[in-house]
Structure 1
Amino acid sequence: MGELTQAEVYSPRTQQVWRAVLSWLAFFFQIFFQIIRALGHYPLLSFSSSSSSASSSSSFKPLPSVELVDHDSHPPSAVEISSLHYSPADHLPLQKLTLDVLFSFGLVWLDMDEHILKLFGMVLLTLLKLFILKPLEFCIVMVYGMMMFLFYSDVVVHLTDSLVVLDLDETLVCAYETSSLPAALRTQAIEGGLNWFELECVSIDKEGEGKPKINYVTVFERPGLKDFLKKLGEFADLVLFTAGLEGYARPLVDRIDVENRFSQRLYRPSTISTEYREHVKDLTCISKDLCRIVIVDNNPFSFVLQPVNGIPCIPFSAGQPHDTQLLDVILPLLKQLSEQNDVRPVLYEKFHMPDWFQKQGIPASSWTL
């Protein structure tokens, strides 16, 4: 099978065409609206002050873009459209309708942030106050505003929906059976400053009387783990996905995630077996939208189904007390990815994981893109 190009891997052609059309239309309406504003002295947008005589030449002075109104003083005299004899009071229902329509459109259809919608509404209503619009101009402003909503809503929504899937063992922590942990390694890790704790885990094995077997585990946290989770949680939704058994992983995660930053915890039963590897983590069980989901795992075969969504991190062990991967390497990369509409082009350029998997004999036909 021929090598996949970058565009074939991630960018849906329909989405590219749609964004190009929206971009062109938004640019067109912006230019058109600026032309109309520049031609304000023509009859289409002519204004007359209520204090000027009907026979005097029409001219107006725009209001400042930001105006503090003294509520104790009388409002300024109304500005009329000479051809319609318009009063600003007539625009109050229109302004309210405009804001209501935009607010409903953004919240329900585009799922946009309420504060951004309010800001956009304020800008649009400022335009309405600056220029008492005829129906034609008002429609132009409305269309232009809707185009801006459509063009930028994808970015706004996605910036709040970044999804990061984190592996557990050898990515966030390393764990050893206490009875088999070499004393020298334990001493090196503790003297090196690694945070550690001991854990009792319920094994699937049974003791002689049929009681669950208890295993004692010593866990070392990767340096910077708590700061990493805290800072990452500020711009991404976190999901823990481990191939470990729940009896072992659940109490461990309870210790490292006391703030409950993980919105989901997935264990071995959530993994799948493929023709090439077992315990594969299929990201589509978390989200069908693969544009904004990233998995960080020390085992690349964990994300063999979605090779352009994975970050293959360096495995962590107790012999690496001065490891800086979480805060110095992985966190900055995840922050960069959180600002992308589609994380896959960036990850492809950085790691070329599809090429690597093909060299391992895993064809592209096994991928979910």
Structure 2
Amino acid sequence: MKNILLGVSGGIAAYKSVELCRRLQDNGFHVRVVMTKAATEFVTPLTFQAISGHPVHTELFDPAAEAAMGHIELARWADLLLIAPATANTIAKLALGLSDDLLTTLVTATAAPVAIAPAMNQQMWKAPTTEQHLSVLRQRGVQIIGPAAGAQACGDVGFGRMLEPLEIVDYVLYPAQDTLQGQHWVITAGPTREQIDPVRFLSNNSSGKMGFALAKAAARLGAKVTLVSGPVSLEAPPAVNLIKVKSAQDMLDSVMEHISDARVFIGCAAVADYRPAEFIAQKIKKNTQELHVDFVKNPDILQTVAELKQRPFCVGFAAETQKLEHYAKDKLKRKNLDMICANNVANGKIGFDSDENAVTVFFKNDRTEVLQQCCKHKIASQLVYLIQKNLG
């Protein structure tokens, strides 16, 4: 798949489509842009022309375009027709089969796959008519990419935000399939929080972004995903069973409750190695120059799962600041893992609390794969494919 016809409909999220166009080109795709009349009120065609290097198509009846590449030829040219943003109005037109502008006509005329990235107000997203229209499109094989939850231009908060350009590119590179249908994946994410007294706790800088991205990538391929997460400020990915926990013991208990039928276990959480030996019931007062707290070792969740008699395929993570290969391979062997994903967090630019990562993957059979630095969503998709490839 090389040729992408990018359809832009009239919503404020159209500004994101400029970057989307560039990101698609960065990944080797040829991009041509079609805009609805409403879309040109948010972003000018000249902007997309400058980015794509091609004239932008806006009119169904354009004598100049018909003389060169008419709408039928444009429909034939596309390997994928991607509409981003797809407004509620455009989605309704597609579901009803209307072809009253160039973009909707192209959808009717093309034999290429169609994908849409919805963007609208959260109440419009929840409307019964929108749900019905999306159901119709899914039945026709249209891929629905997103939306995400968050703050919206109108001031509301909820689902309806168009996914970020890199996330959409990820969907294009790794289309949703049902290759993991029937498999149960259990994934841990985020930090754990070990309480010292009612107001203080021991934790770390893990944001949970990597684990949540892995859960989303596995669910997109049809897996049943249980995501056990420590305290983070992330929304549950679509179709993922999110279980919120705090301490390492809580996380272990939840994992063991759901692991019996798991095909894959990914220990992505940054579990605290130690916890206070005793919880102090009252707030510790600042009465002395020094404070001594005794710690005891926490249970090793990953090793506990790997030692099960009927064990799933076990994947670990190793965040290191030095001797990356040495420590990662030692952990792989010592914990009896099938593969381990190691990253160097010494410079603080990847890994913990970052949107990007770079991973070296070590396998039980001594193979190594290097995943270059990029967004965590793309790393997650690459890792899920590697796991799938090695399940046997």
TM-score w.r.t. the length of structure 2 is 0.26
Higher strand proportion (structure 1 or 2): 2
Q: What TM-score comes out, normalization by structure 1 length?
A: 0.27
Higher helix fraction: Structure 1 or Structure 2?
Answer: 1
Ranked by relative contact order (alpha carbons within 8 Å, sequence separation 6 or more), the top structure is 1
Q: Which has the larger radius of gyration?
A: 1
